[in-house]
């Protein structure tokens, strides 16, 4: 079942990365209002659920909040400045790092694959094809100066996924995912509010955080797609045999973007050969994970 959720999440994530290409809002501003909206949505959990006692659960939540406040803002900026696919280039590194790191954290997962040679070869080849295909799907990239930070972002995002895999109980996966994201967005909202206040970003004249109808619409759509797409991704991270499998399937997101751009007539230099490699890689990973 997690495979179906991963496929659905990959479609939603494609839309998530495309939203700010359309609205062209400040990455910081859209991230602030998105985080605030999600904090409001998740806040009832403070009163209606029993919270974990493991301090590492909250450490993971705070780390995720720092990532939301800083790294997400930068990624949204890249999505607005370039094509949404440029920002999604963090995903191949996220998937590969999560997959390999889990082999080291839980060696039994490596030996379980090793005992099935066909599946072992399929998953390794699938990941190589997914990462290489996703990295080359854009014919005219924005340049290494843009892509290098996306590689770093992918590693940081993978660390967040691994942290959640380690602290979330599978029996309570939905509830605890909502709880850890409530911590994420509480921390990020406080940090971004302080930043906006210090920098005068809420001023009526020239304030980047000043809420406008266009910014509000963009942030609302971003919050909705983030809640659904991020929850689906992290659900697969917790329940799949390896936390890298879900992010690997999410590498199909650039393919959905390519199809959307073609249908809408949006200028997008996407390589159909690289797209075919990504799809075939996803099929191999699904075969190995089944």
Least confident of 106-110, 112-116, 257-261: 257-261
Confidence of residue 140 (pLDDT cuts 50, 70, 90): very low
pLDDT for 131 equals: 78
Angle at CA of residue 25, ends 22 and 31, nearest 5°: 110
Confidence of residue 193 (pLDDT cuts 50, 70, 90): confident
pLDDT for 32 equals: 84
Using the CB atoms, write b or e for 56-80: b if 16+ within 10 Å.
ebbebbebbbebbbbbbbbbbbbbb
Could you tell me which residues are beta bridge partners of residue 270? 138
Residue 222 near residue 19, CB atoms below 8 Å: yes
Could you tell me which residues are beta bridge partners of residue 138? 270
Distance CA 138, CA 272 (A): 9
Tokens 């720092």 belong to 66
Confidence of residue 88 (pLDDT cuts 50, 70, 90): low
pLDDT for 177 equals: 92
Distance CA 283, CA 255 (A): 14
pLDDT: is 62 or 133 the higher one? Answer: 62
pLDDT for 19 equals: 78
Confidence of residue 179 (pLDDT cuts 50, 70, 90): very high
Residue 134 near residue 10, CB atoms below 8 Å: no
pLDDT for 227 equals: 87
Least confident of 64-68, 130-134, 183-187: 130-134
Confidence of residue 236 (pLDDT cuts 50, 70, 90): very high
Tens of pLDDT, residue by residue over 223-232, are 888 888 889 9
pLDDT-above-90 percentage for the chain: 19
């Amino acid at each position: 079942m997690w495979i179906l959720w991963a496929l659905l999440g990959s479609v939603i994530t494609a839309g998530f990365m495309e939203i700010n290409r359309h609205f062209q809002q400040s990455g910081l501003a859209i991230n602030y209002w998105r985080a605030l909206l999600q904090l409001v949505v998740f806040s009832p959990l403070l009163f209606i659920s029993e919270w974990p006692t493991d301090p590492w659960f909250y450490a993971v939540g705070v780390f995720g909040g720092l990532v939301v406040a800083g790294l997400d803002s930068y990624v949204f900026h890249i999505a607005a400045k370039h094509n949404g696919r440029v920002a999604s280039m963090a995903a191949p590194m996220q998937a590969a790092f999560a997959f390999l790191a889990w082999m080291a954290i839980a060696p039994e997962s490596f030996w379980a694959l090793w005992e099935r040679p066909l599946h072992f070869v399929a998953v390794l080849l699938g990941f190589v094809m997914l990462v290489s295909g996703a990295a080359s799907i854009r014919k005219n990239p924005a340049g290494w100066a843009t892509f290098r930070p996306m590689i770093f972002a992918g590693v940081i995002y993978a660390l967040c996924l691994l942290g959640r895999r380690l602290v979330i109980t599978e029996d309570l996966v939905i509830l605890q995912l909502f709880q850890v994201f409530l911590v994420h967005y509480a921390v990020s909202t406080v940090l971004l509010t302080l930043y906006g206040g210090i920098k005068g970003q809420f001023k009526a004249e020239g304030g980047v955080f000043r809420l406008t109808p266009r910014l509000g619409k963009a942030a609302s759509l971003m919050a909705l797609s983030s809640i659904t797409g991020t929850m689906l991704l992290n659900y697969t991270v917790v329940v799949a045999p390896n936390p890298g499998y879900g992010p690997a399937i999410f590498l199909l997101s650039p393919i959905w973007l390519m199809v959307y751009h073609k249908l809408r007539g949006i200028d997008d230099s996407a390589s159909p050969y690289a797209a075919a490699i990504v799809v075939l890689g996803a099929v191999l990973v699904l075969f190995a994970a089944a």
